[in-house]
A and B are shown apart, each in its own frame.
Chain A
C-alpha cells in the first residue's frame, strides 16, 4: 500500500469514525 493511500485511509477513517466517536461522547455527556 502506497504512502498516499495510507495517509488518505487514516484521514478518512479519522474524520468519519473519529467524528462519530466525538458526537457519541458529547451525547453521552449531555445525557
Chain B
C-alpha cells in the first residue's frame, strides 16, 4: 500500500506545505487581536512558552509516529491499537466539519477581493457585510435561500482545491504551496510596509507590543496562549499526521517541527504588525484609542479592515486587494491540507482510487457547505466553528496525547525522532507531552465548557446550539464509529492492531 502513496518531492516541499497548513485565516485575523487583548507584548511570553512546551512537542510526536507508520490518522492510530482507529476517524470527521465552513469563508474573501478595487462596501462596511453581502436572516433556523454571489465563490474554492489535490502530493499540494506561500509573504510584507508608513501606525504597534505584565498573573491569558498555539498549528485533527506520512524514508523530524512551529509564529507576528499599523492609522484618523477599533475574526476582516481601507490616503483598492489576497492564499494552503486528510484516510483504508475518493469528498463537501452561503450561514458557521474547536479538537487532542504519551513508549518515539534529525530533543520533550500538555488541555477544555454552560455562547438559543453545535459533534462521533466498523482493503486490515513499535 505504501508504495502507491504519494511522497514529497523535497524536504523543503514538506516544510513549506506544513507551514502553509498551519498558517491560516486565524494567523491574520485572530492572533493579533488575541495578543493585543491579553497583555500585548507580555502575551508573547506565554505564547512562545506554549510553542516550546506544547506546539513543537506535539508536532514532533505527530511527525515521528506518521513517518514510522506511513499512513493517515485512522491507520496510524489503528496500527498502534485496533480500538484507537476510531480516534483517527474522529479526526478525519473533524476535518470534514471544518472544511465545509472554511471554504465558505475563503469564498467570502474572494468576493471581497473583487469588491476591494472599488471599495464596494461604501462608508458603512458593517451594514454592507451583514445586509447587502450576507443578507443575514433573523435566526439560524431561517436559511433564506442561497446567495448566488457567495455560491459562485464557494464553488470556485472547491474547484481550486479539487484541481490541486488531483495533482497529488508532489505535483499538486507541494507545487501549490510553493506558489501560494511566497505570494502570501510578499502581499503581507507590502501591507505591513505600507501600514508602517502611515500616521498613527506607531500607536497601533504600541498597543500590540506594549507589555502589560499584570496580565501574566491572569490564568486565562495563559489559556489563551495555549489555545492560540494549539488551534493554529493544524495539530490533533489529522493534518500533520497525513502530511508527515508522505515523508520519504530519509528525512528530518525535529528540525522540521521547529521550522513549522517557528515559521507559523513568525508569520503571526508579521500579521500583527500589518494589522495594527493599519488600525493605528484608522484610530488616529478617527481620533480614538486603538483599543476602540481593535477587532478580531470575521469582524476584523469584513468590517473593520474595509473601514480602515476606506480611510487610507491613497491606493485604497490595491491595499484592500492585497489584504484579501493574503487571506485567500492563507486559507487555500490550509484548506487543501484539511481536504487531504479526508482523501488520504479513505484511500488508505479502502484502497479506492484517489481520484474517485477526491471527487466524492468534493461533491459531498460542496453539498454540505451550501448551508453556509444562505442567510443563516454566518450563524451556523459561528456555532459549528465554536463546537468543533472547543469540544471536538480539544477532546481529540487530549485522547491522542494521553494515548501515545501514556500507552506507547514515548522514549522510543523520542529516540526514533532524534535518530533522523539535524538536532535532538532531550527528555524535557517526554515531560511536556506526558504531564504539561494533558493537564493544560484538560484545564482549557474544562474552562471553556464551564464558560459555555454558565454564560452560553454569543447569545444563541439552546435549540440553535444543540441542533448545529451538538448535531455536528454527534455526526462526527457516529461517523467515526461507522467508518471504523466498515471493513477496509486487505493491506489496511492486515496491519491494523499490530501494536507497532517505534
A contact residues vs B (CB 8 Å cutoff): 1-2, 4-9, 11-13, 15-17, 19-20, 23-24, 26-27, 30-31
Contact = CB atoms under 8 A, between A and B. Distances in A.
Interface of B: 11-12, 15, 40-42, 44, 48, 202-203, 205-206, 208-211, 252, 255, 258-259, 262-263, 265-266, 269, 422-423
Main secondary structure of the interface of B (DSSP, over half): helix
Nearest to B267: A16
A31 B263 contact: no
Contacts of A13: 266, 269
B4 to A, nearest CB: 27
Given A5-B205, A23-B255, 9 more contacts: A1-B203, A8-B211, A12-B41, A17-B266, A19-B258, A20-B262, A26-B255, A27-B12, A27-B252
A23 B262 CA distance: 9
A13 to B, nearest CB: 6
A1 to B, nearest CB: 4
Contacts of B269: 12-13, 16-17
Most B Cβ at <10 Å: residue of A8, A16, A24, A31: A16
A20 to B, nearest CB: 4
Given A4-B210, A31-B11, A23 B205 contact: no
A31 B255 CA distance: 12
B422 A16 contact: no
Contact of A26 (B208, B265, B423): B423
Which 5 residue pairs across A and B have the least CB separation, nearest first? A8-B41, A5-B209, A5-B210, A20-B262, A16-B266
Contacts of A15: 48
Contacts of A31: 11
B41 A9 contact: yes
A27 B205 contact: no
A8 B209 contact: yes
A12 B11 contact: no
B14 to A, nearest CB: 11
B265 A16 contact: yes
A12 B44 contact: yes
Contact of B41 (A4, A16, A23, A30): A4
Contacts of A4: 41, 210-211
A5 B211 CA distance: 6
Nearest to A6: B209
Most A Cβ at <10 Å: residue of B41, B209, B255, B423: B209
A2 B44 CA distance: 17
A16 B41 CA distance: 14
Nearest to B209: A5
Given A16-B269, A23-B258, A26-B255, A9 B263 contact: no
B274 to A, nearest CB: 13
Contacts of B205: 1, 5, 9
Contacts of A16: 48, 262, 265-266, 269
